[in-house]
Amino acid sequence: MAPKPIISTPLQKIIADGIRATGPIPLATYMQLCLSHPTYGYYMSPQNSIFGTKGDFVTSPELSSVFGEIVGVWLVYQWLQREKQLPLRIVELGPGRGMLMHDILRVVAQFKSGQNALQSINLVETSPTLRDLQASRLEAATMQLGSRLEWHDSVEQIEQREDVFTLVVAHEFFDALPVHLIERTEQGWQEILVALSDANTFQYVLSPNPTAASTLLGHSSPRFATLPVGSRLEVSPTGFRTMRSIGSLIAGPPPERIAKGCGLIIDYGNAQASSNSFRAFKNHAIVDPFNEPGNCDLTANVDFAHLTEAVADIVPVHGPLPQSRFLTDMGLNMRVEALSRKCQTPEEKEALILRSTADRLVDEKGMGSQYKILGLGGKAGDVWPF
């Protein structure tokens, strides 16, 4: 008698049935289904408390509004540096609950020139639940600035315009984009697929031959050409394509290529591809990514070098920098001290929270080194603090 299938979630059964019918699937397909299945995907289900202390992870904007203020100051400053100030629009990919955008809008409102310049806030978000949260948090600030909120399923849906200066921010967006897992063999680049074991659980298997995806992705960067047999890579073609689209939004017309926008990409990863960073989070802990699909957040480290390669020919790229250096050089400590002085006594709870959260943002053993920040646009030379 065959072993009884282990079905922990409705989505696990859907994926398992698909594999039985058509064979093993790319890791990218598994990841896409787990996060974005229209009914049972992690980001699509209103039952999942994604962010904050009750969710599966805490992000930098959730920790401190100072983080969002600093991001907003950098973005707005690039706009103010232009000799001719165009109207503004802000694009955010993966806005979560809207906390980062709320803090950025507060910065825009502090500049008189920005109060009447902001035309639209364009949010790239596919989750209906998160769209509702974003609307409730941002509508008042949007109306105050005389702007409008617009939602898009992908960045490609946002119109490329020459008559506006586009500010782009993507915080913990690229890490959730599907990755293919490929391995260099004597036959070339082959793909690691998700299959069913004899116990009807998910497991990795090597494709019998190179696939179209593994061949293409294995040659998608000159950095991969010298890797030895046995090397594994996590590569996101969706991330590369999305980054190219971001670059097109803010790149100026040739031949000068004077950027008509700027951007910050904030995520965890390095300027190199990872081989085994794919993982799942549930209740602030790392768990088996093949267990409870649809109930856990899936993520993989971002290859910032790959993102740079996607846009280096059309827009200036700066960094990446560790988050600790970016925030410190942008005046995090001075801002925290200024806010702390507004408290009545040094013992005030608010002051203690400010200092502790700021310390966590720049902790060299945690978020300060794990997160990197990539700058786009501005001048082709040095752009502070890169």
pLDDT digits (tens, 9 = 90+) for 34-68: 999 999 999 887 766 554 445 444 567 666 788 99
Rounded to whole angstroms, the Cα distance separating 124 from 92 reads 6
Whether 326 shows a pLDDT value over 50: the answer reads yes
What is the mean pLDDT of the segment spanning 85-112?
Answer: 94
Report the percent of the chain where pLDDT is more than 70: 88
pLDDT of residue 272: 96
Q: Which residues contact 93 (CB under 8 A, 6 or more apart)?
A: 124, 155, 168, 169, 170, 173, 242, 246
Q: What is the pLDDT of residue 103?
A: 95
Sign of CA pseudo-dihedral 296, 297, 298, 299: negative
7 pLDDT higher than 60: no
CA 55/CA 314 separation, integer angstroms: 38
Domains of the chain, earliest start first? 60-177+235-377 (3.40.50.12710)
Q: Which residues pair with 269 in a beta bridge?
A: 302
**What's the confidence (pLDDT) of residue 49?**
58
Of 27-36, 78-87, 208-217, least confident by mean pLDDT is: 78-87
Handedness of CA 272, 277, 282, 283 (dihedral sign): negative
pLDDT at 355: 74
Read off the pLDDT band of 372 (50, 70, 90).
very high
Percent of the chain whose pLDDT exceeds 90 = 75
DSSP H helices, the chain, are 10-22, 27-36, 60-63, 65-80, 99-110, 112-115, 128-144, 212-218, 237-250, 304-311, 323-329, 332-341, 349-361, 367-370
> Residue 50 has what pLDDT?
55
Please, what is the average pLDDT of the chain?
90
Residue-wise pLDDT for 261-312, tens only, equals 999 999 999 999 999 999 999 988 999 999 999 999 999 999 999 999 999 9
pLDDT tens digits, residue range 201-245?
999 999 999 999 999 999 999 999 999 999 999 999 999 999 999
Q: Which of 18-27, 45-54, 360-369 has the lowest mean pLDDT?
A: 45-54
**Which pLDDT value is given to residue 252?**
77
Res 29 pLDDT > 70: yes
Q: Is the pLDDT of residue 335 over 70?
A: yes
Q: What is the pLDDT of residue 52?
A: 47
CA distance 30 to 265: 25
Asked if the model's pLDDT at residue 31 lies above 80, the reply is yes
